[in-house]
A and B are shown apart, each in its own frame.
Chain A
Amino acid sequence: MTTPSKPHLESELLQALAEGTLPSGDERTARAHLDQCARCRSELEGWSLLFRELGSLEDLGPSKDFAERVMAGVEIAEPEPGRLSSLLDRLKGHLPTRVRGRTDRHLSPLGLQGYLEGLLDRSTRRGVEAHLASCMECQGELAQWKTVFGGLETLPHHAPSTAFADQVMAKVSPHAIAQAMPKPAPGLATRLVRGARRLVPESRKGRLVAGGVALAPAMGLTMAVAGIVLHPLVSLQGLATLASGWAGEAVGLAWSWGLGLMTDSWIIYQAMVLVDQISRAPEVLALGFVGLWAATLFSGWILYRYIIAPSLSTGHHVQAS
């Protein structure tokens, strides 16, 4: 489909496409247009036909009406008024520079620029060199392109004023820039510590409640032990003896289990010796009970201070006696 407001592909570009010298990026763009535009397609066909004809002619210089003859065989789709004749005019205007006395074509501007930039593949480059060796006209063109490239390569850098760097640095704070750098992603250890820290309550009160809840098992255990100890039939002495008997049995079991390991590990041997000694000392057991009691009192206080007391003061009124 032809969109009237959209300019069509330039004839130079279509020629390059017909020659196969258009860079692939440009070719894609051109093909996209061609897919949609019958007029450019038929012009391209005309150029392709012309180039094929030129290539097949031997020692035959083109006559003046050559282009007309070639183009007459091409049906132009959707011709616009004046379009065909202007196309033929352009074709004629183009022929003298494109067609030599011999039948091969001259190098395209894109080809010459690509050659000077070193962007051509080896076989294309050899083709260009072969043509240049025998074509004065293209040598002249190449010389002109060399002037352009040479001029561009020698363009100097201009320096800003000497105060330039200082002026920039006066408006830049390296320290602040370093501070604002995005931090690198944390390692596994850092992430674990951060995750654990997130579990710890933020407020002091929260931490204490959590501590109290953690101590609750100790409290329960201690109360059970206290119940046994305070029983009239149970004496501390007897309990200690009983406990030391249990511990002794446990140590005996552990001893036989650990015997194999013991020869390998000095630490395990020492630990077993320690457990053995503790189980034979009632004083150590008693000390353990005292510790449990202290922990229980502490737990109770925390639960009272942070859970029971607040609910009392805000909720029901309870007689304090």
Chain B
Amino acid sequence: MEYSALEDREVVELACSGRESAFRELLSRYEKPVFSLVFRMVRNRQLAEDLAQEAFIKAFNALGSYKPEYRFSSWLFKIANNLTIDHIRKKKLDTVSIDGSPHAREGDEIDRTRLDLPATGETPEEYTENRELGGQIEEAIARLRPEYRTAILLRHVEGHSYDEVADIMDLPLGTVKTYIHRGRSELKGLLAGVAA
């Protein structure tokens, strides 16, 4: 079966008919993007693999509920993001800052509901372990709050539109724009600090 010419939607249809090769095609298309997003969120390779794996298994088993009018990647990222955020919330990862309300509608509300904790989501050991996520920009991204980070990664690494990011993160469009603008402002400050 030649898949390269097929759109995601068509590959999903074949997967729905029980073709294993179609599932493998979806994996080969999205294992890196999904893993990368989760990896940059938790900054722990093994944990990221586990979460990404869980996301794929969950998505595949729920393939019947996927609506082809949405981009498959958006749907998959939404599942992966929810699992990751759930994990971060549950573990609290000790030092991660989390918005109190994921449905905060405006900047004010976001600030009010935020738990004010240091922004980096990793222990010192993990931080040094993550040479893979080294480099100025990676380290600056690691310092962003998780929700800023997700929004910026989806926008810039995965190339999703603001609307799609809002859909994936289950947030109002205005909030997502605020996250992205503030996140980028922080990155600019961090990168300027490095350069200085």
CB distance from B186 to the nearest CB of A (A): 10
Q: Is the pair A164, B191 in contact by a Cβ cutoff of 8 Å?
A: no
Q: Is the interface of A mostly helix, strand, loop or mixed?
A: helix
CB distance from A59 to the nearest CB of B (A): 33
Please, what's the 1-or-0 string for B43-65, where 1 marks a CB less than 8 Å from any CB in chain A? 00000110011001100110110
Set of chain A residues within 8 Å of B16, measured between Cβ atoms: 177-178, 181
Q: Which of A33, A110, A155 is the most central at the interface, judged by chain B CB atoms within 10 Å of its CB?
A: A155
CB distance from A181 to the nearest CB of B (A): 5
B105 is an interface residue with CB less than 8 A from chain A: yes
Q: Is the pair A172, B152 in contact by a Cβ cutoff of 8 Å?
A: no
Please, what's the 1-or-0 string for B169-196, where 1 marks a CB less than 8 Å from any CB in chain A? 0001110011001001101100110010
Q: Is the pair A178, B35 in contact by a Cβ cutoff of 8 Å?
A: no
Give A181 to B18 CA distance when docked, in angstroms: 10
CB distance from A73 to the nearest CB of B (A): 28
Give A107 to B132 CA distance when docked, in angstroms: 37
Set of chain B residues within 8 Å of A28, measured between Cβ atoms: 174
CB distance from B142 to the nearest CB of A (A): 12
Q: Is the pair B108, A9 in contact by a Cβ cutoff of 8 Å?
A: yes
Please, what's the 1-or-0 string for B21-36, where 1 marks a CB less than 8 Å from any CB in chain A? 0111001100111011
CB distance from B139 to the nearest CB of A (A): 11
Give A28 to B18 CA distance when docked, in angstroms: 46
- With beta carbons under 8 angstroms apart, the residue of B18, B156, B177 that contacts A152 is B156
B138 is an interface residue with CB less than 8 A from chain A: yes
Give A142 to B125 CA distance when docked, in angstroms: 36
B117 is an interface residue with CB less than 8 A from chain A: no
Give A155 to B184 CA distance when docked, in angstroms: 14
Q: Is the pair A178, B32 in contact by a Cβ cutoff of 8 Å?
A: no
A130 is an interface residue with CB less than 8 A from chain B: no
Q: Is the pair A155, B157 in contact by a Cβ cutoff of 8 Å?
A: yes
CB distance from A17 to the nearest CB of B (A): 12
B76 is an interface residue with CB less than 8 A from chain A: no
Interface residues of A in 27-78 (CB under 8 A from B): 28-30, 32-33
Q: Is the pair B49, A161 in contact by a Cβ cutoff of 8 Å?
A: yes
Set of chain A residues within 8 Å of B173, measured between Cβ atoms: 25
A144 is an interface residue with CB less than 8 A from chain B: yes
Interface residues of A (CB under 8 A from B): 5-10, 13, 23, 25-26, 28-30, 32-33, 109-110, 113, 144-145, 147-149, 151-161, 164-165, 167-169, 171-172, 174-175, 177-182
7 closest cross-chain pairs (CB), A and B: A178-B18, A151-B137, A152-B156, A25-B174, A157-B32, A160-B35, A29-B106
Interface residues of B (CB under 8 A from A): 15-20, 22-24, 27-28, 31-33, 35-36, 39, 48-49, 52-53, 56-57, 60-61, 63-64, 105-109, 111-112, 132-133, 136-138, 140-141, 152-153, 156-157, 172-174, 177-178, 181, 184-185, 187-188, 191-192, 195
13 A-B pairs in the complex with CB atoms less than 8 angstroms apart: A5-B112, A9-B108, A30-B106, A32-B106, A149-B156, A151-B136, A152-B152, A158-B39, A158-B133, A161-B49, A164-B53, A168-B57, A178-B17
